[in-house]
Structure 1
Amino acid sequence: MIVMQSGAHTLAHYAASLTPVLRAVAAAAGPDGRACLIETGGAVEQATTALAIVRALAESRGAPRLLARLLREMLHETDRDLGDGTTRLALLWGGLVVQGAQSVAAGIEPEQLAAALQRLGAQLAAALERTEAERQSEPDTAAIAAVAASAGAAPDVADAIADMLTRVGVDGAAEIIESRESGLRPEIGEGFLFDAVPASEAFATADLDPAFILVADERIDDLGQLLPLLEDFATRGKALVVVARDVSGPALHALVRNHSDNGLRAIALRPAAAGPSAADLLEDLAIATGATLVADRFGTSLARLRPGVLGRCARFSIASGRAVFSEPGADRSAVAQRRALLLAEAKRQKFLALDRERLQVRAARFRGVWARLHVGAETDRETRTRVEVARRALASARSAMEGGVLPGGGIGLVQYFDSLPIDQAERTGPIAAAASFAMATGLSTLVRGLAQNETPIPPRARPGRLSEALGLDSSGDSAVLDPLPLTRSVLERAVSGAVTLLRSGGMIHA
């Protein structure tokens, strides 16, 4: 049955249904958050993010869960686009909606309230953006670690994330890797990083100094295709790395036999990826090493191999599926063009988070500095949870390096809110006052939820007085830090979602 409901009291009724949702999110939020256990199909699992909590609470049918389902979609988009910030968004948006609905029920015209709230949110976001634009330097390692910790990372994980980001830079290749071993294992190095699978166990580990690289988006199984090249390298004692879509048959047997018996310094690899992804990675490698990619689509063929198609690197090593081409002989302009192309494509992948992340990682690897943090725990479930938290913390820490930091736990937003230049007429007008109170309620819900794991009735305060009403330290010092760009995006999304709801005029549910 489809039901259409509208009116001020209807909005207030729906907003009231958010109370248990916000309470659950707040209980699990911040460094002192408690475990949120969810029963699904007789199994009990621990929810570690606001998205997981809201998704579970939104599953039941009917009107009482309508706003929870709207919030679920907002959090999904935020997690997809930003990698972190779902808890802050849930608490801030929830406070805005609850107080906005109460103001509408008290007689405030929803369209006017929505417009005033939108203006207030834009002022606050603009203040954050000015600070972001005016910053003079990147945060130091301690600040980055504080941001990672505020995103939920354990102290050792936060310190490791800060260390690797400081070393590789904001555009460097920094990744969290799920490990089969308990604990943390950081890896930091230089060179072009390539995920590879040895064509034979004989090539599982190798160090070649220097090395020539043949990159082919073809399957190599005929020894005749490689024989002239191998004979030349055997005679001169040079090292050759063959990276192809696959190497098998007589070609592989000859490489293994000559590698083992005759000391031929040649090995064969294939990309860890498959399909179109493998072709993309092979093209990246060719550009990074200065090789000409051997592929039918480019009009090159194994049958016409010449030394000029080979790439170079000062040193090559492979271990545990990680191939590193140190000091590769790339053309700088070609690398710059490839990076720009990958980053532009990543920006276009707005709705495909996994594809966007892969493109960003590929672009970062062209910088030649890379870091990996292998994260593991005692059980598979604990490992997945720890890796998920670490990846959120990495996203927040990277955002901090890009745009700076502000006092965390919502305190920075409160300070900016109190500093807004609002004149006396706007303070006292009923519409502006309602918008200010809605924002104060949202910020109070955020601060109390993160700091005290509860959502109490917030103080009735307007800009200039909220810090005092919440009993916050006026010095501006904070041990907890949040990334400024991510915070601004969360604010904009929360205000936009609340404004859209106020302007909806009605709700439809099944």
Structure 2
Amino acid sequence: AMSLNRGMQKAVAVATKQLEKLAKPVDITKKDDIVNIASISANNDAEIGKKMAEAFMRVGKDGVITIEEGKSLDTTLEYVEGMQFDRGYLSPHFVTDPDAMTCELDKPYILIFEDKISNVQKLVPLLEAASKSKRPLLIIAEDVEGEALATLVVNKLRGILTVAAVKAPGYGDRRKAMLEDIAILTGAQPIFKDLGIELDKVELSQLGQAKKITIDNDNTIIVEGIGSDADIQGRIGQIRAEIDGTSSDYDCEKLQERLAKLTGGVAQINVGAGSEAEMKEKKARIEDALHATRAAIEEGIVAGGGVALVRCIDAVNKLKLKGDEATGVEIVANALRTPCFCIADNAGAVGNLVVNKITQGTGGFGYNADKDTYEDLIEAGVIDPVKVTRIALQNAASVAGLLLTTDCVVTEQPTDEDPTAAAAAMGGGMGGGMPGMGGGMPGMGGMGGMPGMM
């Protein structure tokens, strides 16, 4: 079994390298490529493909695209410029537009403070300086509470100072990193605990600035911070280096979000549907389309319809191994033709004939099951992300190898979960007990029917 597994792993390694050679890079500026990739991943839904392409054209390959449940029948795309983070105002009294329940700050100063603010005396000097400047003030801190928050609200309501406060985004080390991002974007000096700077010593020159800030109950958006382009590009390069150096998918996702916030812009696709069931199904397809498109941008595309895997068979068969290892190679070679065979078979064609004809061709030549014709599938828009194809192959080999090298499996004994049987058993028990209830407590002996539930 071990030799068989080794042969399979060697064959998969060769196939993976061949897939990389076949890969064609995706040009993010070519809308048709994105439409084709996203449409196929969404079960050939052209509408989803177009929305996904529009989103990527707006935010770029590093941009954040979120998928939310919409409130109408139509699927729509919204775009938010600037840096957005999911923290809203700490008090509704900060609202400047009562109709929209938002706080709009034009050309504000921005204080970035890592710690909590509760002592109003230390905050007063900065409030006085901001008031004299006749410009709004936004405070981003771990929290603003007690008399400090009350003082901000009173100053706002009396018209002395247009001010707002929000909690810092993120948690732990990620919070500090995001505060640094905001500081670089707005040209601020972040006031961190380890710097030893007291709040009452902070001057306006240490604060950040932006063209506009919009705050609602849940989000804050900073538009056009005054940070220098050189500093922002340096930070972007640093985050990209962290992305390349991490092996955690979760960390990579969070770093990508930070990168998108710095590069500017978030696209949101609002899924429209007529029922909850349709909403869940459609949202799942759009999420598949998003992940497939990102994978294609990351590693490129190959011909779909199982053709790319068929093109790997010759390279795998060139492996010169012996014994069980050779058998492992043969297993993988047979597996590489199976997706193409199944697609043709499901389309009503003869699987073996289709695979043999594709084998005789080269490049993207393959069987288009949708049109029941042979053509260049890449030109026809029938494409798959290399990353998806590669991971599917590697995962299949990993599971097969695990089963081959497993001596025993521990499983639970299945239980009868027939609901009609349980209901019948309950009914039998209750039948004996109910009549006895008229005579008081002794009649409860009728519950003896309950063992029927076991």
TM-score by length of 2: 0.72
* Aligned residue number for residue 360 of structure 1: 256
What letter is aligned with 2:68?
Answer: I
CA distance in 2, matches of 1:139, 1:445: 34
> Residue 83 of structure 2 contacts residue 223 of structure 2 at CA under 8 Å; is this kept in 1?
yes
Separation in 2, partners of 1:298, 1:379: 54
Change (3 A) 1:136 1:296: closer
Q: Which of 284, 292, 305 is matched with 1:396 structurally?
A: 292
Which of the numbers 430, 442, 464 marks the counterpart of 2:359? 464
- Among 180, 186, 189, the alignment partner of 1:292 is 189
CA distance in 2, matches of 1:233, 1:445: 70
Hey, what does 2:129 align to over in structure 1? Answer: 232
* Same amino acid, percent of matched pairs: 26
Per-residue deviation at 1:439?
3.9
Asked if the contact 1:211/1:314 (under 8 Å) is kept, the reply is yes
Deviation of 1:389 after TM superposition, in Å, equals 3.3
Aligned-residue offset at 1:344: 4.8
2:372 aligned with 1:491: no
Task: Report the CA distance shift for 1:388/1:474 in structure 2 as closer, same or farther (over 3 A).
Answer: closer
Cα 1:421/1:383, change in 2 over 3 Å: closer
Higher relative contact order (CA 8 A, sep 6+): 1
Within-5 A mapping of 1:61-72? none
Shift in alpha-carbon separation, 1:409–1:257, aligned structure 2, 3 A: farther
Could you tell me whether the CA contact under 8 Å between 1:441 and 1:459 is conserved in 2?
no
C-alpha distance in 2 between matches for 1:387 and 1:135: 27
* Superposed displacement of residue 480, structure 1: 2.9
Cα offset, 1:164, TM superposition: 0.9
Instruction: Determine if contact 1:165/1:398 at 8 Å carries over to the other structure.
Output: no
Alignment of 1:370 with 2:266, yes or no, is yes
Alignment partners' CA distance in 2, 1:348 and 1:278: 20
Contact 1:145–1:159, Cα closer than 8 Å, also in 2:
yes
Hey, what does 2:56 align to over in structure 1?
Answer: 165
Residue 369 to residue 381, structure 1, CA distance change in 2 (3 Å):
same
Matched, 1:417 2:320: no
Following the alignment from structure 2 to structure 1, what is the Cα–Cα distance between the partners of residues 251 and 107?
Answer: 34
Out of 148, 171, 175, the residue aligned to residue 66 of structure 2 is 175
RMSD: 4.0
Give the partner amino acid of 1:304: K
| Shift, 1:475, TM fit | 2.9
| Aligned-partner Cα distance in 2 for 1:496–1:206 | 53
Structure 1: which amino acid aligns with 2:33?
A: A
Q: 1:384 to 1:337 in 2, by over 3 A?
A: farther
Any conservation in 2 of the 1:292–1:311 contact (CA below 8 Å)? yes
Secondary structure of the residue that 2:75 maps to in structure 1?
strand
Which is further off, 200-209 or 466-475? 466-475
Correspondence 1:447 to 2:340: yes
C-alpha displacement of 1:259: 2.7
Residue aligning to 1:193: 84
Query: C-alpha separation between the residues in 1 aligned to 2:11 and 2:198?
Result: 63
Q: What is the TM-score when the length of structure 1 is the normalising length?
A: 0.65
Contact 1:444 1:458 in 2 (8 A): no
Q: Distance in 2 between matches of 1:368 and 1:450?
A: 42
| Aligned-pair CA distance for 1:161 | 1.6
SS in 2 for 1:509: coil
Which residue does 1:256 correspond to in 2?
153
1:197 Cα deviation after fit: 1.4
Query: Do structure 1's residue 143 and structure 2's residue 36 form an aligned pair?
Result: no
Shift of 1:410: 2.2
Question: 1:37 corresponds to which residue?
Answer: none
Q: Which amino acid aligns with 2:62?
A: D
Q: CA deviation at 1:507?
A: 2.6
Does the Cα contact within 8 Å between 2:89 and 2:216 map onto a contact in 1?
no
Instruction: After TM superposition, list the pairs within 5 Å mapping 1:307-322 onto structure 2.
Output: 307-319=204-216, 321-322=218-219
- Provide the rounded CA distance (Å) in 2 between the counterparts of 1:454 and 1:136: 29
List runs of 5+ in structure 2 lacking aligned partners. Answer: 96-100, 411-454
Aligned equivalents of 2:156 and 2:232: distance in 1?
Answer: 32
- The answer to whether structure 1 residue 438 and structure 2 residue 331 are counterparts is yes
Per the alignment, in what secondary structure is the counterpart of residue 157 of structure 1? helix
Which residue does the alignment assign to 2:104? 207
* Structure 1: runs of 5+ lacking an equivalent: 1-6, 8-109
TM superposition shift of 1:395: 1.4
Structure 1 residue 213, shift from structure 2 partner = 0.8
* Pick aligned residue for 2:374 from 437, 461, 473: 473
For residues 114 and 192 of structure 1, the distance between their equivalents in structure 2, rounded to whole angstroms, comes to 49
User: Is 2:113 aligned against 1:216?
Assistant: yes
Distance in 1 (CA, whole Å) between partners of 2:285 and 2:345 is: 21
Q: Is 1:244 paired with 2:141?
A: yes
> How far does residue 306 in structure 1 lie from its aligned partner after superposition?
1.2
Give the secondary-structure state (helix, strand or coil) at the position aligned to 2:263: coil
Query: Which has the greater radius of gyration?
Result: 2
Q: 1:349 to 1:176 in 2, by over 3 A?
A: farther
Instruction: Report deviation, 1:310.
Output: 0.4
Helix, strand or coil at the partner of 2:188: coil
